[in-house]
Structure 1
Amino acid sequence: NSPLVDIEVDDNMISGELPDGLCDRCAFNSIVVFNNNLTGRIPPSLGKCSQLTTLFVDGNHFSGEVPDGIWAAVNLTILVMNDNAFSGTLPRKLPPKLAWLNIVNNRFTGKIPSSAPSLVVFLASNNMFSGELPSGLAGLSTLRLFYLGNNMISGRIPEDISSLKSLTELNLPHNQLTGEIPTSIGSLEQLRWMDLSGNELSGSIPSEMGNLKLSYVNLSSNQLSGEIPVALQTEAYDQSFLSNPGLCASNSLLSVPTCATRDHNLLSRRGLPILLLALGAPVFLTAATLFSICVIGKYRKRRHLDAWTLTPFHSFDFTKSDILNGIREENLIGVGGAGKVYRVTLGNRASRIVAAKKIWNGGNLDGRLEKQFQAELQILGSIRHKNIIKLLCCCSSLDSKLLVYEYMENGSLHEWLHREHMAPGGSPHEMPLDWPRRLEIAIGSARGLCYMHHDCSPPIIHRDVKSSNILLDSEFNVKIADFGLARMVAKPGEPDTASVVAGSHGYIAPECGYSIRLNEKVDVYSFGAVLLELTTGREAHDGGGEQCNLAEWSRRHLQQGGEVSNAVDPGLRGSSHVGDMATVLELGILCTETSPSQRPSMKEVLRFLVRCKRA
């Protein structure tokens, strides 16, 4: 018999402890036991698995210290231990081949390691680490993701952080960091995400940070002062500098005082009236200045309009001026990871309304946003289906992009399911969706996805199917929206473009975390989560107080003999459609199977839902 080299028993309900002597007779390459009910300590004998390269023990109830042998494993490349109760300290030097370490949500203490020659991902948020960041960060030079939020790290951010040349995400919120942000941070050319919020950082924001192409930055809740660098004064960073009383901006795009206003208030407190009397101001000079402002303002408005280019995808009767005039804060109806969405009334025609999505960016779009923008253009500009949102046109300038869509009066399915929809009077809508309407919404959504998967050539994967991306018009007809993460399926022999995990928590298929060769089954998984939302009325990430998502909770509920009537939305209990609800609940569980091969296709899902309606 061949020796056992891999063990994978993840996503079960296995309890008890890992057996001692697990490696006595087997030369394991990987041990995968995540998302079970395992308890106790990791047996010291596990450190004797000399060939071990991969260890997943996350999502259990392990405790105690990690055996020294694990930290000395010479071939270990992936160690995932998050969401347990591990304690103790980490060694000063991590295993030589360790590339991925996830210990989020544990009870580790002490200082973080100063040497990890191969470490690419270090996720250690929500522990009890203390002390300062190591001064010799060159020992961590291969890092790309560095997450240490919600610990007790103190001291300054070291100047040699510039040695982390490959760093793309720096996440250090809610620690006790002090001092100034080092200017050397501006040399991290690959950095795209930075969160230093909730610390005690002081001084000014270095102008060098303006050189970075950050898709997200958060410096809120510190003690920073001075003027924010001009390159960071864009709408993309509107919420990035809150709760820093000493900060100001030279324009009004950010939610901080303008420097002129701050200086004006300062002068007022120090005797501005006396200063004005001393200086004087001739009336004619004031009038001339106001006249100049009016003339220049009109010229700038004309030049601003000329800077925009309109690209139509459907016939319409409005102009780019109609659209641009509606991009105002009072028209804001939504904010997402890539931009803001505005409800634009065209001219004086209250009955003619469109939705305009403004892509966040400062200067030219960074790579991630440019990719999302181009994806929406490529996908929505080429397909036509009654259950897919209609892209009317695109407005673009050198530093901004606007996507203009048909407006959906009833908002998103998420708002209706989770009581967020606002009635005309301004209070949350009282009446939940009844079951026949929910089933119609499921069928309409399935038709749109079925078209993308089976009728487009090449097929299209949405990659972010969720209830907030299923929009409803005035008659509750369905339109699938937000194609910023969508992509064409790669043809055989072509490189695949899914290089990062895409999607939203509770909707993401498991294979998104370990494979770059994805297919349409990732959408089937996400749609399964939507079906479970429709039947239970709960959010996709809601595990009912357990450490799991809705899909896992639903599966366990039925496996443990739970009644379907106890799982369905309380607003639907007592309905005559309980049998149909049970059928759709089971379909949702089937769609969210861990293995993609065990999930049905969208064509099969649609056929199943239509049959359920006719029954």
Structure 2
Amino acid sequence: MSKIPHFFLPIVLNLLMPLYVISQQSDHTTLLTVKQQLGNPPWSAAWNASSSPCDWPEIICTADNITYLVLQNKSITGKVPPAICDLKSLTYLDLSYNFIPGGFPTFLYNCSNLQYLNLSQNYFVGPIPSDIDRLSSSLQWFDVSGNNFSGNIPPALGNMPELRTLYLMQNEFNGTFPAEIGDLANLVNLRMDYNDKFLPAKVPSEFGKLTKLQFLIMTDCNLIGEIPESFSNLSSLEHLDLTYNQLQGPIPKGLFQLKNLSFVYLYRNQLSGEIPTPIESLGLTDFDLSMNNLTGPIPEDVGKLQKLKLFNFHTNQFSGTIPPSIGRIPTLENFRVFTNKLNGTLPPELGLHSNLEAFEVSDNEFTGNLPESLCAGKTLTGVVAFSNKLTGKVPESLGDCHSLRTIQLYNNNFSGEVPLGLYTLFNLSSLMLSNNTFSGGLPKRLAWNLTRLEISNNMFSGEIPKEVSSWVSLVVFKASNNQFSGPIPMEFTSLPQAISLFLDGNLLTGELPIIIESWKSLSTLNLARNKLSGQIPARFDSLPDLLNLDLSENKFSGQIPPELGHLRLTFLNLSYNVLTGKIPDEFDNLAYEYSFLNNPSLCANNPISNLQKCLTKTRKSKTLSPNILAVILVFSVILFMVTVLLTFFVVRDYKRKKLKRKLAGWKLTSFQILKFTKADILSRMTENNLIGSGGSGKIYRIAVPNSEEFVAVKRIWNNRKLDHRLEKEFLAEVEILGKIRHSNIVKLICCISSEDSKLLVYEYMENQSLDKWLHGKRTESEPFLTLSGSIRPVMLDWPTRLQIAVGAAQGLCYMHHDCSPAIVHRDVKSSNILLDSEFKPKIADFGLAKILAKRSEPNTMSAVAGSFGYIAPEYAYTTKVNEKIDVYSFGVVLLELVTGREANDGDEHTNLAEWAWRQQGEGISIIDALDEDIKEPLFLGEKTTVFRLGLICTSPQPLSRPSMKEVLQVLRRCDPLEG
């Protein structure tokens, strides 16, 4: 092409200048139109006719052309104007973190130069168009994550050759994903995680063609089948995450030969077979194969991974020994191999060459000693080695490891004395040494923060030291079945935080010290099987939270103090003593029929099993006088006449009698003193008294006759006749709940049952459920109340919310830690936390309706237990149910209390827990997550703590979640009324 002569250049520039000015004016006009159609939002104040668009905060220009338009987090609620694509030089468009509704905006096909498109975190719905490849052929970044897109992911995505980043995570896709994605030769980042509504599908082998791929994340995508062997061709792969799926079979042979691989997360699948070798991914830092069915030994090659930080192989079926070379990895921080079949000795150099933080080897068959150097780096936070065959003494070096927070060595064969330094480690909160052969005495001092000390079933001996009064933080003390002797010192009753104290099965003597009010939190006291004597102190009535008391198999004498009946005891055992006299009236019922065995001199007015009836004084009989005989004769005549009249009424009211015969088919089982009959309940179950209805039945509000009280009656029905086994299961669980006495658990008064229906009668809760107050599920006539009873047009204030959190935690804590066996609720949610007139919370609805489901029916989460949004992730992949699923659900409730969001309403595309974790991961301020009604700066520290506690409780891994006792401790520290 010939060059333009110099003398023509000014002429050409003069000709082009008007075109440039026209173009710039056109872009200016376009953006002002966009502003107007968006409703002139406050953030667009700088967009005016007198300034250049290149100076506006949302605009970036290149060579005076508008190339970047960034409208992220602008609270846009309407559709985006198609005029945006009139910006002819636009290459970068970010509309993320808004509230944009509707289907995919196909007008974007007209943005012909677009290279970056971010539509994430909005309210888009419907399918991604099948002709999505009509987007700019130069598009490199395509992000539609965090929306409500559904249907299939279109194969046309494979026709976008320049695409480097494809983010499709956290949507509602309920179809398939195409193999054509494997045709994206330039793809570097691929994320489809948290799309659990995908139809079950295998990972396409075509994905193995993505040789430039560095990040592949397909967590929770309903993947089945095997990991393709073609993954061995992903030569650029650095980060692989296929967790929370149902993948099976072996790991591809060449996967760990990929040189660039740094992060491997394959946990929560059903992978099997041995780990393939050789392992040549020497840059691996995170290696997580936990919770699969992998077998065989841990390869020696793992010791070559000199950059390894995270080594999670737990919950598999690995066998053999651990290669000693693992102990020489200089970067190792987390070593978790618990719940396998590993044996042999532990690598002696573990911790010697690295800053080891977590050491968890429990539930294996390890023998020999604990490594001496575990805490050489002074960063170790936990030694978890319970349920092995470890022997010898605890290393003295652990007594100088001040970073330790938990030591769990129970169920082993350790011996000797415990290093004294172990008891006083500065950060230690739990020390669990039960079921070994440790010896020695109790320490005089404990760490300031030690809340749990468990040393049962050992050979500890000596007296309880008077310095025990300094154990001010202790919550749980379990020292059963040792050889402690001597009296219980008065100082033992001055533990202000104590909840559970177990000293049963020892050699303790003397009388119980006078109970003082320092035991204000005590709920369980077990002193059974000792040699204690004297009278039972009447001052037990000063312990308001005492629920379980076991003083059996001692030498207590005298009468049972009447004050004991003032307690809300759910378990009482005074058997095998030498007690005398009448038992308190409160215990004179079948709920305590096994509480007084082998006390021959005890009696009861209404004799229960193994107790004689108390004798009462009777007057000597006298000969009846003629006058008395005459009176008797008159009464006999009257009685005869009444009988005749009754017979007449029975005949006349035949239909009423027929109804009574029908009522006789109902059986009443009571757990409290009743102020009503079953007829009172059945006759009042009318539509006028209906206050709620659900999938399992209806709930009625019924007035108690001759009083101002009400009860709530839940009717559970079943379409089929129950078999005897299900009937027994239901009644067994009802019996357990009927015996619970806790101020934060709804009182089950009685059960009225027939062949096809069950009535559960509870105390009535005036303020109904927590979710009605948090999420506005109230009628217009229901007031908004505060603790003072004043009416105001807002939701619950923060002190009330915190009170509810503390109370609900107390109820769950009692169920998990103080009931034997422990009770797992299985359906903790805000609608099952009821509020009385003072907004005191009570746990309700223990899933009894779910017991009535037939075993032959599908074992889905909605049918068995739990509510979506509250269900712990592991509940979808395992049949094991334990307290950790309740902790997860309670964590969701905490997040509800802080954010005001519903459990299924993270931000219209994911549940609350996942949304909260993402907020945390992206560094978004917790203040921005708070409910608008509690966003004032007052109590900000407490709100932040509760939010973070909710995050910890909803940790994906159950072992990372705290116990309910630990949760309660944190909440109590937040609440000034509990401090």
What is the TM-score with the length of structure 1 in the denominator? 0.52
Structure 2 CA distance, aligned partners of 1:214 and 1:361?
14
Structure 2 CA distance, aligned partners of 1:36 and 1:391?
49
Q: Secondary structure at the match of 2:501?
A: strand
**TM superposition shift of 1:44:** 1.0
The letter of the residue matching 2:405 is T
The 5 A counterparts of 1:374-413 are 392-394=757-759, 396=761
Q: Secondary structure at the match of 1:94?
A: coil
Structure 1 CA distance, aligned partners of 2:579 and 2:857?
45
Structure 2 CA distance, aligned partners of 1:395 and 1:320?
16
Question: Does residue 42 of the first structure (1) align with residue 398 of the second (2)?
Answer: no
The 5 A counterparts of 1:406-485 are none
**TM superposition shift of 1:354:** 7.6
Question: Does residue 53 of the first structure (1) align with residue 408 of the second (2)?
Answer: no
The letter of the residue matching 1:14 is F
**TM superposition shift of 1:319:** 3.8
1:491 paired residue among 837, 861, 869: 869
Q: Secondary structure at the match of 1:31?
A: strand
The letter of the residue matching 1:321 is A
Q: Is the 2:494–2:516 contact (alpha carbons within 8 Å) kept by the matching residues of 1?
A: no
Structure 1 CA distance, aligned partners of 2:612 and 2:432?
44
**TM superposition shift of 1:357:** 3.7
Match of 1:149 in 2: 504
Structure 2 CA distance, aligned partners of 1:363 and 1:514?
23
Structure 1 CA distance, aligned partners of 2:761 and 2:886?
34
Structure 1 CA distance, aligned partners of 2:376 and 2:740?
55
2:383 paired residue among 26, 31, 34: 31
Q: Secondary structure at the match of 2:509?
A: strand
The letter of the residue matching 1:177 is L
Match of 1:282 in 2: 624
Match of 2:4 in 1: none
Deviation track 1:486-536 (CA, whole Å, cap 9, x = no partner) reads 9644736xxx99xxxxxxxx97648479877699xxxxxxxxxxxxxxxxx
Structure 1 CA distance, aligned partners of 2:737 and 2:882?
32
Question: Does residue 321 of the first structure (1) align with residue 664 of the second (2)?
Answer: yes
**TM superposition shift of 1:215:** 1.0
Deviation track 1:34-76 (CA, whole Å, cap 9, x = no partner) reads 1111110001111010111111111111011101111221221
Question: Does residue 209 of the first structure (1) align with residue 564 of the second (2)?
Answer: yes
**TM superposition shift of 1:463:** 9.3
Q: Secondary structure at the match of 1:186?
A: helix
Structure 2 CA distance, aligned partners of 1:252 and 1:479?
45
Structure 1 CA distance, aligned partners of 2:881 and 2:523?
22
Structure 1 CA distance, aligned partners of 2:575 and 2:847?
29
Structure 2 CA distance, aligned partners of 1:283 and 1:362?
55
Q: Is the 2:378–2:403 contact (alpha carbons within 8 Å) kept by the matching residues of 1?
A: no
Q: 1:73 to 1:66 in 2, by over 3 A?
A: same
Q: Secondary structure at the match of 2:460?
A: strand
Structure 2 CA distance, aligned partners of 1:85 and 1:480?
47
Match of 1:120 in 2: 475
Structure 2 CA distance, aligned partners of 1:219 and 1:88?
31
What is the TM-score with the length of structure 2 in the denominator? 0.34
**TM superposition shift of 1:254:** 4.8
Structure 1 CA distance, aligned partners of 2:669 and 2:749?
23
Structure 1 CA distance, aligned partners of 2:614 and 2:365?
58
Q: Is the 1:23–1:46 contact (alpha carbons within 8 Å) kept by the matching residues of 2?
A: yes
The 5 A counterparts of 1:133-212 are 133-212=488-567
Structure 1 CA distance, aligned partners of 2:525 and 2:409?
25
Match of 2:741 in 1: 366
Identity of aligned residues (%): 33
Structure 2 CA distance, aligned partners of 1:108 and 1:51?
26
The letter of the residue matching 1:149 is D
Match of 1:221 in 2: 576
Structure 1 CA distance, aligned partners of 2:747 and 2:853?
23
**TM superposition shift of 1:79:** 0.5
Structure 2 CA distance, aligned partners of 1:488 and 1:211?
36
Structure 1 CA distance, aligned partners of 2:745 and 2:426?
41
1:242 paired residue among 593, 597, 606: 597
Structure 2 CA distance, aligned partners of 1:121 and 1:491?
32
The 5 A counterparts of 1:211-360 are 211-260=566-615, 276=620, 280-282=622-624, 319-324=662-667, 357=731
Q: Secondary structure at the match of 1:231?
A: helix
Match of 1:575 in 2: none
Structure 2 CA distance, aligned partners of 1:231 and 1:72?
44
* Consecutive unaligned residues in structure 2, runs of 5 or more: 1-330, 334-354, 643-658, 671-723, 765-825, 833-844, 873-878, 893-955, 960-979
Deviation track 1:50-106 (CA, whole Å, cap 9, x = no partner) reads 111111111111011101111221221111111111111111232221101111111
Q: Secondary structure at the match of 2:612?
A: coil
Question: Does residue 66 of the first structure (1) align with residue 418 of the second (2)?
Answer: yes
Q: Tell me the number of residue pairs that the alignment of Structure 1 and Structure 2 aligns.
A: 379
Deviation track 1:364-386 (CA, whole Å, cap 9, x = no partner) reads 97338954859999xx9xxxxxx
**TM superposition shift of 1:283:** 7.8
Q: Is the 1:226–1:247 contact (alpha carbons within 8 Å) kept by the matching residues of 2?
A: yes
Structure 1 CA distance, aligned partners of 2:381 and 2:749?
41
**TM superposition shift of 1:221:** 0.7
The letter of the residue matching 2:360 is E
Question: Does residue 19 of the first structure (1) align with residue 371 of the second (2)?
Answer: yes
Q: Is the 2:591–2:739 contact (alpha carbons within 8 Å) kept by the matching residues of 1?
A: no
Q: Is the 1:137–1:163 contact (alpha carbons within 8 Å) kept by the matching residues of 2?
A: no
Q: Secondary structure at the match of 1:159?
A: coil
The letter of the residue matching 1:50 is H
The 5 A counterparts of 1:509-588 are 509=882, 511=884
Structure 2 CA distance, aligned partners of 1:20 and 1:518?
38
Q: Is the 1:193–1:215 contact (alpha carbons within 8 Å) kept by the matching residues of 2?
A: yes
Q: Flag the structure with larger Rg.
A: 2
**TM superposition shift of 1:479:** 8.9
Question: Does residue 98 of the first structure (1) align with residue 450 of the second (2)?
Answer: yes
Q: Is the 1:137–1:161 contact (alpha carbons within 8 Å) kept by the matching residues of 2?
A: no
Structure 1 CA distance, aligned partners of 2:750 and 2:386?
34
Deviation track 1:555-599 (CA, whole Å, cap 9, x = no partner) reads xxxxxxxxxxxxxxxxxxxxxxxxxxxxxxxxxxxxxxx9769xx
- Larger RCO (CA within 8 A; separation ≥ 6): 1
Q: Secondary structure at the match of 1:70?
A: helix
* Consecutive unaligned residues in structure 1, runs of 5 or more: 268-274, 299-315, 328-350, 381-388, 400-451, 498-505, 520-593, 598-615
Structure 1 CA distance, aligned partners of 2:612 and 2:410?
45
The letter of the residue matching 1:64 is G
The letter of the residue matching 1:323 is W
Deviation track 1:341-399 (CA, whole Å, cap 9, x = no partner) reads xxxxxxxxxx9x9879495699997338954859999xx9xxxxxxxx98612164989
Q: 1:361 to 1:323 in 2, by over 3 A?
A: same
Structure 2 CA distance, aligned partners of 1:515 and 1:61?
34
**Two-structure CA RMSD over aligned residues (Å):** 5.0
Q: 1:149 to 1:366 in 2, by over 3 A?
A: same
Q: Is the 1:137–1:164 contact (alpha carbons within 8 Å) kept by the matching residues of 2?
A: no
Q: 1:371 to 1:395 in 2, by over 3 A?
A: closer
Q: Secondary structure at the match of 1:367?
A: coil
Deviation track 1:255-285 (CA, whole Å, cap 9, x = no partner) reads 411103xx68xx9xxxxxxx95xx6353887
Q: Is the 1:232–1:362 contact (alpha carbons within 8 Å) kept by the matching residues of 2?
A: no
Q: Is the 1:236–1:360 contact (alpha carbons within 8 Å) kept by the matching residues of 2?
A: no
The letter of the residue matching 2:869 is K
Q: Secondary structure at the match of 2:515?
A: helix
Q: Is the 1:168–1:192 contact (alpha carbons within 8 Å) kept by the matching residues of 2?
A: yes
Match of 1:434 in 2: none
Match of 2:484 in 1: 129
